[in-house]
Chain A
């Protein structure tokens, strides 16, 4: 199977290394998620994969084609939806779609079946100017335009940022359906909980790829005993946990606190007793499997530790 191969790719803007020696592989026909906060370098990396930027060092190969030499070929089979709405505001819905189809030497009719599930919702508004669409409709149009030429590779930069929880869920359902059609889909997102919707992911912060692989494996490989705790006074509990030597880290997770313990000996029973001695009698504690944010925080902490020892 062919892959997208990113090898030691680096891109700097002045002093800032937007992407710093990134190396990982994305398998074909997969739904891939690039997960990281604002400023992590996600957009720069996607622009390198789509041949819009060249790495200062290292190389990027898309299904065997080098982004430096073979950018013309890569562009023919790539669909790209940038984070900012970048269709023509003064063209209508249909004119925009027709324009993109024509650029890629195809017609709306030829690949209509591909975009039908998304575009059919827009068709009643096909004569409306793109500038007058709501946020959700703009996104549907942008996605339709990005895949009207049946791309082998579809790259979506933060399609769910600022989108409410319901619409985000629906968007991921759509992506998973598209994934079954054989396209390789790359999606970036700052929402860590979306990682589990992908078949393969990479976690990025400060230009560095911290972890990559299957989400299930990343969750399973979380090192350390992780406890989930509730109590009436979460903030008091949080302070107490942070003051304990046996607790490596403690963070709020909604109604719970997640505490990573230093050793296996400090398990739920041990903590229950210890908290009780400090006057917290109502704590409910259970050992849990890591969530994605746990893994992300852990990876960030590990990198900071490494830096300290360098």
Chain B
């Protein structure tokens, strides 16, 4: 692990809203190809930090490098080199699957001929040929998640940010989704993921747990369980987040 190359470098990230400190001196690194779990209770400051890492919001202070780019001066380069998917919004409901894929590919500036070929390739891989022309509103939520994830990594980003990607998804699809995540990581894509399912924390290589704007713990699930003398990540989480 130690000779792996960091792809996200965060040093003393502080973000204030007025008097409120949402991120209080966060420091961590995420390695290339790693599956990194970013956990914390609601209101702990996760979303604030993710928005900064994605180049959508400026930090108050701190030094951050995402995929080799600076968050203050190279935000457009950051956006080109990352993918993003959230449970709440990922696909346009009134576009069909094919149109959604083509739309996102176009936004990321892929050449037109490539888009056409790769779109059909992806539809084939996902086994969605029969419903590729259905508008997203009409397809089952589980399939939507799979398409959304594929779209998020379609432009082969260095990092993909997944914000609660499996909320409300049925137990079989949830597990298939994690197999998709592993495949992406095996291709070298770094996966930065948040979740409220504590069993999913076990699927991450390393996990950080935030409470009140600070990172209270960061280690492999194995080491965290040992350190907190807990049987599962759920127990670890309950111990830390409750303080």
> Residues of A with Cβ closer than 8 Å to B?
36-40, 134-136, 161-169, 190-192, 205, 235, 251-255, 293, 296-297, 300
Contact = CB atoms under 8 A, between A and B. Distances in A.
Contacts of A36: 170
Contacts of B242: 166
A162 B234 CA distance: 16
Nearest to A238: B179
Contacts of B41: 164-167
Interface in B153-212: 164, 167-173, 175, 178-179, 182, 196-203
B168 A38 contact: yes
A37 B170 contact: yes
Nearest to A163: B42
Among A134, A255, A296, find the residue whose CB has the most chain B CB atoms closer than 10 A: A255
Enumerate the 8 nearest inter-chain pairs by beta-carbon distance, A residue then B residue, closest first. Answer: A37-B170, A254-B199, A38-B168, A254-B202, A38-B141, A190-B168, A164-B41, A293-B171
Interface residues of B, number: 36
A38 B169 contact: yes
Nearest to B197: A191
A166 B241 contact: yes
Given A39-B142, A165-B196, A254-B203, 11 more contacts: A37-B168, A37-B170, A136-B43, A163-B42, A164-B241, A166-B241, A190-B169, A192-B171, A205-B170, A254-B198, A297-B171
18 contacts: A37-B142, A37-B170, A38-B168, A38-B169, A135-B42, A164-B42, A165-B196, A165-B234, A167-B41, A167-B42, A235-B182, A251-B172, A251-B175, A252-B175, A253-B199, A254-B199, A254-B202, A293-B171
Given A164-B42, A165-B238, A166-B242, A296 B199 contact: no
Contacts of A192: 171
A243 to B, nearest CB: 15
A163 B141 CA distance: 19
B237 A37 contact: no
